[in-house]
Chain A
Amino acid sequence: MGKFLHAFFSPLGLRRAVPQVWDGFQTNIKMMVIAEALVLVLALVVAIVRGLPGRSTLPLRAIAVAYTDFFRGTPLILVAYVFALGLPSLQLAVVSHQSLITYGILSLTIVYTAYVTEVYRAGIESVHPSQRMASRSLGLTYAQTMRYVILPQAIRRVVPPLLNDFIGLQKDTAIITVIGVTDALAQAGFYSNDFFSYAGYTLAAVFFVILTIPFARFTDHLIKQREQLERGQLV
């Protein structure tokens, strides 16, 4: 027990690891922020494409379905390897000459966009058809109906599951370490080799947790605020 505590929680080890692990963790933060911003937008686009009406949009919808099916089923670690090893070996103009972090962000974005698309889609479908009917009956177009009536209601409903996926994304930035990005996990590894202490891993875990908790509370707050505005009080 004493040995275990010493290996993972030695105060000296923890304190000494801070600069190094924090340095790596900034890379995690960078990857998650950029990937989340991209996912937020791209997934909405894919979800809208999947729901387009009319026969002429069938090829577009088919591409969207194939994309989500494929990348929801592929492990992130595999996608990361394919991008980081595969793309440079192709020796193409731009895509083969990116940093490892960029390949990492690309992997996270592509995989998580596939998940989040389904979340958006569930939200869109949860808005009662009578809302669409009311909007179209006023002479608003399909696009205007989506923009002003359906999406605002849909997005509000999917904030909690969206947040859930984003917490998943934040944690999965650690997977990108396998392609050689020096993130918090990599730095914790270096630290444990140098000092024979696992405190670096403990610290990295603490960093990840600290990042997600305020995020979750903030979202709760937003939801509650909106509900109070619309309903008067919580029931």
Chain B
Amino acid sequence: MTETDHFVAVRGVIKRFGDNEVLREIDLTVDLHQVVCLIGASGSGKSTLLRCLNLLEPVDEGTIVIDGQAITNGQVDVNVLRRKIGIVFQAFNLFPHMTVMQNITLAPRKARGLSKDEADSAARDLLQRIGLDDKADEFPDRLSGGQQQRVAIARALAMNPTLMLLDEITSALDPQLVGEVLNLVRQLADTGMTMVLATHEMGFAREVADKVCFLDGGVILEEGPPDQIFSSPREERTREFLARIIEAGRLLA
């Protein structure tokens, strides 16, 4: 396959924070409708990699091509690029001074130029889809963590992205709220949304991922189909990591 056959192609990406090399020559491809899970310990570079994909973090070296367009050459309009790439954060990052409805419709109205009516009606459809149509006029602080995260996902979806990046979106949630958020992600995967997600939910990764990448010390040490990674990892470091996860009881989801 050539570079342009992949929806996302990351080649030799290096990212430094000062002297600290957080990503050391990352190579990664994501195909259309694929769900790729990034696993690895905290500090392995998962979040940084996701943020490089929509240029929230500029990369120092290497190239990233998304949908046939090189985004790392400094020529690309980041605002236009980001409208097509949704990202959801661990800490939700909803806008606390806006209602759920306003959170969802802000970017469609201001960045895509939709009218209030168009944006509102699209937002209502989304709210129905995530089962929160009765919360449209609530402020985020009055919702549970799981509900807030579902709203954050809806806010990203409201831009009709072609790629979704999910950055440990269940890590800040109480265990009993994780399910509702994962269900929503599962629905998204079923609709064919292309997704890259960093996660500690190994059971979930095994279930939805087409490909799992194990990051360690800023490189993708091992990648493959979930069954292979979780059942017969080739690398010693992957085995160690998975053993620690099993000990912590997170693989039995």
Contacts and interface: CB of A to CB of B under 8 A. Distances in A.
Contact of A138 (B96, B111, B141): B111
Given A230-B141, A231-B142, A138 B82 contact: yes
Interface stretch (A13-21, A92-100, A144-152, A160-168): A144-152
A137 B95 contact: no
B56 interface: yes
A44 B81 CA distance: 30
Majority SS at the chain A contact face: helix
B155 A130 contact: no
A124 to B, nearest CB: 14
B156 A138 contact: yes
Contact of B110 (A130, A148, A153): A148
A134 B79 CA distance: 12
A139 B79 contact: yes
B56 A131 contact: no
B56 A136 contact: yes
A232 interface: yes
Chain B interface residue bracket vs A: 20 to 34
Given A133-B56, A148-B110, A230-B141, A138 B159 contact: yes
B91 A130 contact: yes
Interface residues of A, number: 21
B93 A134 contact: yes
B87 A141 contact: no
Contact of A229 (B93, B107, B139, B155): B139
A232 B82 contact: no
Given A136-B56, A138-B111, A231-B141, A131 B87 contact: no
Interface string B201-228: 0000000000000000000000000000
Contacts of B159: 138-139
B142 A153 contact: no
A152 B106 contact: no
Given A137-B82, A138-B159, 14 more contacts: A131-B95, A133-B89, A136-B82, A137-B87, A138-B83, A138-B107, A139-B82, A139-B107, A140-B106, A140-B107, A140-B110, A152-B97, A230-B96, A230-B97
The 3 closest A-B pairs by CB, nearest first: A139-B83, A134-B93, A138-B107
